[in-house]
A = this chain, B = another copy of it.
Amino acid sequence: MAPQPSDLAFVPFVSVDHMMGLIHHIGIETLLCDLADAIEADFKRWDLFDKTPRVASHSDVGVIELMPTSDGELYGFKYVNGHPKNTKEGLQTVTAFGLLADVESGYPKLLSEMTLLTALRTAATSAMAARHLAPKGAKSMAMIGNGAQAEFQCLAFKAICGIDEVRLFDVDPAATAKCAANLAGQGLKVVSCSSGEESMEGAQIITTCTADKQYATILTDNMVGSGVHINAIGGDCPGKTELHRDILMRSKIFVEYPPQTRIEGEIQQLEPDHPVTELWQVITGQTVGRRNDKEITLFDSVGFAIEDFSALRYVLSAIQGTPFSTQLDMLADPDDPRDLFGMLQRSSQ
């Protein structure tokens, strides 16, 4: 009989189905709060991390990226694609999965779906940033772009920042209707708007999350009043922006990792030395965030590897003692580690 793989050969795997089970088990708002805390904790130890801009492979229709990082004990990476044209073909714009490994041995410790997890960590990161940057007492958020990410953003801002009203707008009214229907009964006042201007009426926070791969102008300068916090999610690759340059020039700009954001974010429109503030320095108190009630703060978010790392670390901890993972026979583990060939030979017996 062929020998059975040992425990070392197995890697815990969280499927999409298991991730959905885990989210319901914990509760989505609790999970978003936990994720925001996990990400904030890792931003506080920013210097520890191995940081590199993501490794992108661009084609005419999209991009495939690998986003690795390490804190010296754990190594993590995410595979993620971005294909805006996919929705027309019944596919997701973004799919993702990720891995955590032990730096000491190089052995994987977790493989997980990350399409859902990316939506959650993106929303948690946005709301965590807003907790530091948005005007005090913000209660109303404009949500521009009502695609796959929109509901997660709305719930994260409710759970983490205390938002009680969301004002939805999308160029496609069907997307707004979908988002409004999904948010019914979630404890938010949901206002469907027929223009970007209308969505911003009375909103202290503006979230833009659209998916076209082009230089778009979702917000123009005259639309944005003083004192708001802008959470710009959609401008996240070269050639893809959402905000008019004039808004950027009026805003205090906060970013995750400047070498990546200058290539991918809204600030790709600006000079390479345009001043920006790193969010982690606001979180640690090394620098100030919002300076007054009149200032426009802008979180130019492109998504950074440390956020995925935090999310995977959280999932690895959260699945313990739950049924929300299976074991994948992904690693060859011969009894004698130098005897890979012998393991292969014996498997045929």
Q: Which residues of A approach B to under 8 Å, CB–CB?
A: 5, 8-9, 13, 15-17, 20-21, 23-24, 28, 50, 52, 55, 57, 59, 61-64, 66, 68, 70, 72, 75, 77, 79, 81-83, 86-87, 89-93, 95, 97, 99, 101, 103-108, 113, 115-116, 119, 146-152, 175, 178-179, 181-182, 328-334, 336-345, 347-348
Cα–Cα distance between A182 and B55 once the two chains are bound (Å)? 40
Contact A328 B57 (CB under 8 A): no
Contact B79 A99 (CB under 8 A): yes
A1 to chain B, nearest CB (A): 13
Contact A182 B95 (CB under 8 A): no
Contact A87 B182 (CB under 8 A): no
Knowing A68-B66, A339-B178, the reply to whether A332 touches B61 (Cβ < 8 A) is no
For residue A28, which residue of chain B has the nearest CB? B344
- Pairs across A and B, CB under 8 Å, 10 listed: A20-B344, A24-B347, A64-B70, A66-B66, A66-B68, A86-B106, A92-B333, A93-B337, A95-B106, A149-B340
Contact A348 B20 (CB under 8 A): yes
Cα–Cα distance between A33 and B13 once the two chains are bound (Å)? 34
Contacts of A148 in B (CB 8 A): 334, 337-341
Contacts of A13 in B (CB 8 A): 328
